[in-house]
Structure 1
């Protein structure tokens, strides 16, 4: 018996392939959109992973409770990094992130 005869090729419609690839692209994009800043804030601010993820989600959904503020660690440890400098570096990320997350709603 020929093994190739036993295996039937399943035909998949092009529309199904497009939908699946679009959904996977969106999921991967959202994961990267949340994961990269979470890791950055975890390292820079010395927050736990959950604190960083919480800050990223709350900030990008424009709720912004204010319970976690980047730069507080520098103020308490007298770092050379100025608070204004940190805000200048953070502003483009926050503006872009808020516009992307709000446009999806």
Structure 2
């Protein structure tokens, strides 16, 4: 699963094992009426984009590795460093990268689950 902030260039990538939860209690807990805009109403009384629509489920991701990248500078600083790198034939050092290992993720789960 990946996320990108196109303005700052920051991104996160989480890899692991995914499963789909479709039990009504879980779907109701995380359901948002805004989903109707993406799913639409098929007019059959069942596939209406509501919380009981069988097309809706919750993706549960058991993370194994998480990587986060944040820009060290603003957009102008990154652009300047990228041009300098291209001129010098060097890779610009414009981001900081942080990885969370399986052990770190397991420790977080242990301390944050109720």
The structure richer in strand per residue is 2
The verdict on a shared fold, with TM-score over 0.5 as the criterion, is no
Larger relative CO (CA 8 A, sep 6+): 1 or 2?
2
The structure richer in helix per residue is 1
Q: TM-score, normalised by structure 2?
A: 0.20
